[in-house]
Amino acid sequence: MNLKDKLEELKKNSLAEIKSASDTKKVNDIRVHVLGKKGPITEVLRGMRDLPAEERPKVGSFANKVRDELSEAITQRREELEVERTAAKLEKEKIDVTLPGVPVKQGQPHVLEQVIDQIEKLFLGMGYQVVDGPEVEEDHYNFEMLNLPKDHPARDMQDTFYITNSILMRTQTSPVQARTMEKHDFSQGPLKMISPGKVYRRDTDDATHSHQFHQVEGLVIDKHITMADLKGTLQQLAKNLFGEEREIRMRPSYFPFTEPSAEVDVSCFKCGGKGCAVCKYTGWIETLGAGMVHPNVLKMAGIDPEVYGGFAFGLGPDRFAMLKYGVNDIREFYLNDVRFLEQFSQKG
């Protein structure tokens, strides 16, 4: 058998093997065996040295043609097997789209976040900015900048968690106001801000108290600000959160950072002011504290109290949510019981 016949037989046998290969590994093994440096084609071509010189180009050309045909057949078979593998995988993983889908229940913001969102939207619409600040705060901003020097007895009302003698978990979001007052450029306009966030106090947890809760505090600093501006703002807040029929009243109180100060009550949204269990039969519900910014607070922030004045207020979204939805235990908000939380749908 001459070399050309050997090559022809090799091609025929190899093509049959390639066609019958059942996976890409087998095809690759055939490629290495037939076309490799130690493969049969190479062995056949070694015999060309015994051929007459005029025969060698013809045999060499035929050998290259055989090599190319086998390479093409190997590539084609590999592609066929890949298509078959993909089709089998798709068949195995296919979804019957005629079956009804499994509904995915859509979540919603936590009820406290809903209340905070509603407050933020109201004040953003009134031209306020929403400002965040650190929860791990300096004593200087948490107390001293708010007219509460060291050993001031009013600090006892805000017993908190100290990390060092001068670093603590903030007891209120008022430090954000102090920081913002220091940086604000009044040549660009008045300061109108709210500062929502978590606060911490060393409290014994019960139905109405928690060591961690939320606050939203507001501040306006400008020329010619009066108590009437404060009352009008809080009236709008009460109507937005509790209904258009609500009214407010202000009772004298004491806060170190405001003077004069007031407790703010809202007419009972349950009985309309007639008296019920919710308002303890007074017709009014205590909601927040407020007042005119104390001159000392302005001075410490580098603001001239002879030129500028302002008002501040602070409210608890937790308490607002309890009042609004009739929740009698603040701990319910933090237990992550979906059965409780899903009662409060997002509105607006």
- For the annotated binding site, the residues are 259
Q: Locate 178 and state its tokens.
A: 């102090």
Residue 66's closest CA among 1, 2, 6? 6
Phi–psi pair at 288, nearest 5 degrees: -160, 170
Tell me the CA distances in angstroms from 253 to 91, 105, 231, 234, one per residue in order.
75, 47, 15, 16
Helices (H), the chain: 3-20, 24-35, 40-46, 56-93, 111-125, 139-142, 174-183, 227-242, 295-300, 317-325, 338-341
Q: Is 189 left (phi over 0), alpha (psi -120 to 50) or beta?
A: left
Tokens standing for 219? 């501040």
Residues β-bridged to residue 196: 216
How far, in Å, CA of 275 to CA of 271, rounded? Answer: 6
The amino acid at residue 300 is: M
Residues in binding site for Mg(2+): 259
Using alpha carbons, select from 124, 130, 217 the residue that is nearest to residue 170. 217
Interatomic CA distance for residues 52 and 84, integer angstroms = 48
Q: What are residue 295's phi and psi, to 5 degrees?
A: -55, -35
